[in-house]
Structure 1
Amino acid sequence: MLFAFIDESCRVRQDDDCVYVLAAVLLPAEKLDQIRSMMDALRYGKAPTVHWRTERGARRLLIAQAVASLECASVVAVSLHGTASRSERARRHCLLRLLPELSARQVEAVVFESRREQDAGDRAILTALRRSGQIAAKMSVNWERASADAALWMADVIAGIVTGWLDGDQQWWPLFEDRITFLEASAT
């Protein structure tokens, strides 16, 4: 069984454009316990999660190398948009590209990092994609808090590395460039 763990990253770039990334890490069920254990061991002190944006220097190196050592594929939907456009619109376009791709890759279970009340918008898109036959009816989709599943932290790392790379930070990109498939998600 193939799982996809999904998290987002967004940032305003120096040219006043915005980048919104929805990153899915594809993980086989038989490796989940090992991955969760490894990610949990990467937590710093009493931190409830590993969160790329809050990590610094040597910790980022340790985390990037650990995630890269797992050699898992990722699919990343990217939306570049102006500051006048809302990030929810960019997310919607990313979901419309990402979920059918995951279904085509035979992903059977999808786990999103929950955004609580905003999850309803994702569910509406999921329903529309199911009704139109763009995703398999049997693909299960759930929303979890980041602290509830350490596998979600891998998606956070990939999303953070990709947004950094799109903003000119080349430091971590060579560890992952051969394992990421990009999907363009237009927000226009």
Structure 2
Amino acid sequence: MPLTPPQDDGWIAFVDESESNPQLDPDVYILAAALVHGTACEKIRAWMGGLRLDGQRKLHWAKESASRRDEIIHAVESLDVLYLVVLLEDISGSTSERRRRRCLERLLWELIQSGVRHVVLEARERTQNKRDLDLLTVLASRHRITARPRVDHLAGPAEPLLWLADVLAGALVASRCGDPGYWERLAVSVEMHRL
């Protein structure tokens, strides 16, 4: 499905990363974005927060049981959210950071073309976050992107909307590793780009 949110400044992209299973699906890097309209953020944030179990800092697909994953997908598939995925299959032996930069460049371009002007990335180490912002500066200076979105880094436990992207990436990894059911339930709302 093409990503066609209305061309207004209200859409926010919440982005998480994943590397696929190194044994079953090696050399794959995924950046997943959940696009939520600003007017729906509070409602969906509360909904996602309600999925967190007692004692959990955040919902994290890789740590959930199969029954919990089914429960999570059931909750997420009914939300008014669009998804964008950039997937890189890289057999060249590039580092994770290099893979991330390639995916982030394409993701930012696609988001900007769709009218998204605010991007929230799950925070990593301070130096890694700076690399993301440096890439944005380089892309803008080289006119590789037509606008400069606001980019924030937030901790996963602090922003439940980031969990949507984690779920999407996890469902895609599961599909690529032989369990397509979760992905099939979300795929109608996903635009995928392969590098």
Fold shared by both chains (TM-score > 0.5): yes
Tell me if structure 1 keeps the 8 A contact 2:20–2:30: no
Which of these residues, 78, 89, 96, is aligned with residue 80 of structure 1? 89
Name segments (4+ residues, structure 1) moved above 2 Å.
11-17, 82-85, 132-138
Q: CA deviation at 1:84?
A: 2.8
Task: Give the 3 Å change call, closer, same or farther, for CA 15–160 of structure 1 in structure 2.
Answer: closer
Higher mean C-alpha deviation, range 39-48 or range 160-169: 160-169
1:52 aligns to 2:66 (yes or no): no
Structure 1 partner of 2:13: 4
Alignment RMSD:
1.6
The Cα shift of 1:12 comes to: 3.8
CA apart distance, 1:110: 0.4
Instruction: Say whether the 8 Å CA contact 2:112–2:146 is kept in structure 1.
Output: yes
Count of equivalent residues: 185
Kindly state the Cα deviation for residue 81 of structure 1 after the two structures are TM-superposed: 1.8
Once residues 15 and 75 of structure 1 are traced to their aligned partners in structure 2, the CA distance between those partners, rounded to angstroms, is 23
> Which of 120, 125, 150 is 1:140 aligned to?
150
Q: 1:133 Cα deviation (Å)?
A: 2.8
Alignment partner, residue 23 of structure 2: 14
Structure 2 alignment gaps of length 5 or more: 1-9
2:50 aligns to what? 41
- Residue 134 of structure 1 aligns to a residue whose secondary structure is coil
Offset of 1:16 from its aligned partner? Answer: 6.6
* Corresponding position of 2:192: 182
1:149 aligned to which of 154, 159, 169: 159
Tell me, yes or no, if the aligned pair for 1:5 and 1:112 is still in contact at 8 Å.
Answer: yes
Could you list the per-position Cα deviations for residues 144-172 of structure 1 after superposition, in whole angstroms to 9, with x for gaps in the alignment?
Answer: 00011111111110111112212222121
Q: Where does the alignment leave 5 or more consecutive residues of structure 1 unmatched?
A: none
Aligned-residue sequence identity (percent) comes to 36
* Deviation for aligned residue 1:132: 2.4
Does the 8 A contact of 2:36 with 2:80 survive in 1?
Answer: no
Range that drifts further, 97-106 or 117-126: 117-126
Please give the per-residue CA displacement for 1:13-46, whole angstroms capped at 9, x wherever unaligned: 4367321100011110010001100010000112
Q: CA deviation at 1:68?
A: 0.7
TM-score, length-scaled by structure 2: 0.89
Compute the displacement of 1:177 (Å): 1.3
Superposed displacement of residue 120, structure 1: 1.7
- How high is the TM-score relative to the length of structure 1? 0.92
Alignment of 1:169 onto 2:179: yes
Whether the aligned pair in 1 keeps the contact of 2:24 and 2:177 (CA below 8 Å) is no
In structure 2, the CA distance between the partners of 1:12 and 1:84, relative to structure 1 (3 Å rule), is farther
Relative distance call for 1:139 and 1:93 in structure 2 (3 A) is: same
Change in 2 beyond 3 A, CA 1:138/1:17: closer
How far apart, in 1, do the equivalents of 2:24 and 2:186 lie? Answer: 26
